[in-house]
């Protein structure tokens, strides 16, 4: 497939990517823009890259997307809060006039690892991790689904984790993994419900990725990069996944 064809794959489409101010979310947003989509960048802090020392090529991810020749808007919101999540989706819809793609990437294992075993995790950690990894996605899915139903089309990609499928080393990250497992199964139900409306719901489960937050802790022989993860969902986001049994990254 030539570069021009790849670049135009999502021409005319609009996307919302949560947790997109840095890391994997930024990589997803930039990949969608490179494929031709206009992208709304949603995050609890639009300057999050600065906190982790992640270098941007422009002053913001939205500006990076605009540099690629696509429209973009930055929306700051705490997606664990229902009203803020609904408001973020509404702002994206108002900016672009439609929502073709929703990528729920916001979240993370953002509580102390040393107290993350199943028998030890404090209630406040469990509730926090469920809120940012599961409820944030549910809020956005429900808000976007209403719009996509009226369009009779759309794609939802929820970002889970390998720890939501298998057991993390030494039994750590129990509550985070449970939240991601819940998101994985929620996506199955979402797909079953929304399929008749022409809406696809898919789930990706990356392993540990070389984001700026984990770079200093790398102990494995290979950790996936943001760019590697971003290439995977190109097929999920495009119309070709309606019929293609598999997706090539070529």
Where helices occur in 35-81 by DSSP H, the ranges are 48-51, 61-67
155-186 tens-digit pLDDT: 999 999 998 888 888 899 999 999 999 999 99
The sheet with strand 14-18 has its strands ordered as 72-76, 38-43, 14-18, 101-104, 154-159, 199-204
Neighbours of 199 (CB within 10 A): 21
CA 231 to chain centre: 13
Which position has the higher pLDDT, 8 or 125?
Answer: 125
The structure's pTM equals 0.85
Q: What is the pLDDT of residue 207?
A: 77
Domain residues of the chain, as ranges?
Answer: 3-238
CATH of range 3-238; options 3.40.718.10, 3.30.365.10, 1.20.1300.10, 3.40.50.720: 3.40.50.720
Say if residue 66's pLDDT is above 70: yes
pLDDT number for residue 246: 34
Residue predicted with more confidence, 137 or 224: 137
Mean pLDDT score across all residues of the chain: 87
Select the more confidently predicted residue: 43 or 245.
Answer: 43
Q: With cut-offs at 50, 70 and 90, classify the pLDDT of residue 212.
A: very low
Exactly one of 28, 134, 168, 176 is catalytic; which is it? Answer: 176
Q: Does residue 197 carry a catalytic annotation?
A: no
């Amino acid at each position: 497939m030539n570069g021009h064809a790849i670049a135009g794959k999502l021409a005319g489409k609009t996307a919302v990517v949560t947790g997109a101010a840095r890391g994997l979310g930024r990589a997803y947003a930039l990949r969608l823009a490179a494929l031709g989509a206009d992208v709304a960048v949603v995050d609890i802090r639009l300057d999050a890259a600065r906190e982790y020392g992640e270098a941007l090529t422009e002053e913001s991810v939205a500006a990076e997307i605009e540099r690629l020749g696509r429209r973009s808007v930055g929306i700051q919101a705490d997606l664990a809060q229902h009203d803020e999540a609904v408001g973020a989706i509404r702002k994206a819809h108002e900016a672009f006039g439609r929502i073709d793609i929703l990528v729920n990437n916001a979240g993370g294992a953002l509580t102390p690892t040393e107290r993350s075993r199943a028998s030890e995790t404090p209630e406040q950690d469990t509730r926090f991790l469920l809120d940012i990894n599961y409820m944030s996605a549910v809020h956005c899915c429900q808000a976007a689904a209403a719009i996509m139903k009226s369009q009779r089309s759309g794609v939802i990609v929820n970002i889970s984790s390998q720890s939501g499928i298998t057991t993390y080393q030494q039994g750590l990250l129990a509550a985070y993994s449970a939240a991601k497992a819940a998101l994985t199964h929620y996506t199955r139900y979402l797909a079953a419900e929304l399929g008749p409306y022409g809406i696809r719901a898919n789930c990706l489960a990356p392993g540990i990725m070389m984001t700026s937050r984990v770079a200093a802790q790398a102990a494995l022989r290979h950790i996936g990069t943001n760019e590697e993860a971003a290439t995977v969902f190109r097929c999920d986001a495009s119309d070709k996944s309606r019929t293609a049994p598999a997706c090539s990254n070529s």
